[in-house]
A = this chain, B = another copy of it.
Amino acid sequence: MALDIGPAHGREALAKLAEEQVDHRFKGLPPDAHGLTVAELADQRRNLFTGGFTTPVLALSAERLEHNLRLMETYSARHGLAFAPHGKTSMAPQLFHRQIEHGAWGITLAVPHQVRVARAFGVQRVFLANELVDAAALRRLSAELDADPDFRFVCYVDSVRGAGLMDAALTQAGATRPVDVVVELAAGEGARTGVRTEEECAAVADAVAGARSLRLVGVAGYEGEVPDADPEKVHAWLRRLVALAVDFDKAGRFAAAGLDEIVVSAGGSAWFDAVADVFAGIPALSLPVLKLLRSGAYVSHDDGHYRELTPFNRVPEEGALEPAFRLWSQVVSRPSPEQAFTNAGKRDAAYDLHLPFAQVVRRDGVERPATGIEVTGLSDQHAWLRTTGEADLEVGDWLGTGLSHPCTSFDKWQLIPLAEADGTVVDYIRTFF
């Protein structure tokens, strides 16, 4: 099996993205650019508003993206955290590499397909925030680990049965290099995945110790699922996680041959301030500790869910993320003074946490606030707008909307214009969902 992995292959794959042809696969791009390569189109530096782009079109702000990348780089460094931003958010190898250039240790992912994407583009350190019991995916993983000694991979294990299934599949695959695992501690009763009690964690760790093809390298969890989360409860759970690492270390569970650091990992996009607080107090263990933060939504941030939940609201002195997406659609119907419809729907906008937020209207090159305009619903291919008497909105106008939830915004677009503040599109971001 040709694996097509490793840094050199990754650089080549990344370069090839620029040579992809602009065609029917990618929505929103200028029809008269079809047949150009992505690089050729980027070199034309077309304007988003006058360069022939068709609606709906999602734009990512070049400046805001850069700001967010820098902010989490400095934040992580200031707090002594290694950073493995969750790549499921964007699934964009170009952004994975920009995150790594901005100091990230590696990339967190959720499922084997996502690992495949990251590996195809040369990502050498992957944290899979899930138990992995799929025999076919484990065969592939094992082949990659054996073929590429520089490939660092860590995943969750949260059950004795899971450890057993992994070991069986890896043994059958003839794995020579063990798979590094961390025991996942659940965020509480009724929370998502993860082992519910410290006693069960020890049993899972025992199962790992008894598995020929697994190596225990730490503990991890996701504080974002703490039930009825508040700062106190989140801190308390993070302290449980750290205590688990300490207990495991005292019990000699990290004494495996060749292990040179202990992984302690947590951190979504709502509580990384608490993670920074509690991880700052991790005591000295028998090996250096890799304190791994996994926040992913910061890369584009948003105008809804994460705008409300971002830890920077609690620590404004440490900075502020900037919402980097704007979805442009066009008014195609204005059937009454109270109603209007644009051509962006569920296929184009995140809708799982909030509806899009009407922000600005453009007509004849003039942009103004979307006064009196509210998005009240989405069909598959339409946005429903309610308008008050204040609204000046006509068929043909472009409506700029903010979105809520980066993960379900990225996943509706396969090639996203990266636009500067004046509308100049300087690059295109390819996603793989």
Which residue of B is nearest A35, CB measured? B2
Contacts of A380 in B (CB 8 A): 88, 110, 407-408
- Which of B54, B139, B190, B346 contacts A112 (CB under 8 A)? B54
Instruction: Contact check, A192 vs B382: say whether CB atoms are below 8 A apart.
Output: yes
Residue of B at shortest CB range from A343? B111
Q: Please, how many angstroms separate the alpha-carbon atoms of A38 and B411 in the complex?
A: 23
- Contact at B113–A335, with CB atoms within 8 Å? no
A417-B59 Cα distance, complex, nearest whole Å: 32
A403 to B351, CA, bound (A): 18
Determine which residue in A112, A136, A159, A192 has the highest number of CB atoms from chain B within 10 A of its CB, and name it: A136
From known contacts A136-B31, A139-B32, infer whether A131 and B333 are also in contact, taking CB-CB under 8 Å.
yes
Cβ of A333 and Cβ of B161 under 8 Å apart? no
Is A133 among interface residues, defined by CB-CB distance under 8 A?
A: yes
Write the nearest CB–CB distance from A38 to chain B, whole angstroms: 15
Which single residue of chain B is at the shortest CB-CB distance from A225?
B379
Question: Which A158-212 residues have C-beta < 8 A from chain B?
Answer: 158-159, 161-162, 165, 186, 189-190, 192-196
Interface string of A351-384 (1 = CB under 8 A from B): 1100000000000000000000000000111101
Chain B neighbourhood of A1, CB < 8 A? 32, 34-35
Please give 20 more A-B residue pairs, beta carbons under 8 A apart, in addition to A130-B332, A196-B335. Answer: A30-B136, A31-B136, A31-B140, A53-B136, A54-B112, A54-B136, A54-B137, A56-B111, A88-B380, A110-B343, A130-B381, A131-B332, A161-B395, A193-B332, A193-B382, A195-B335, A346-B352, A346-B407, A346-B408, A347-B433
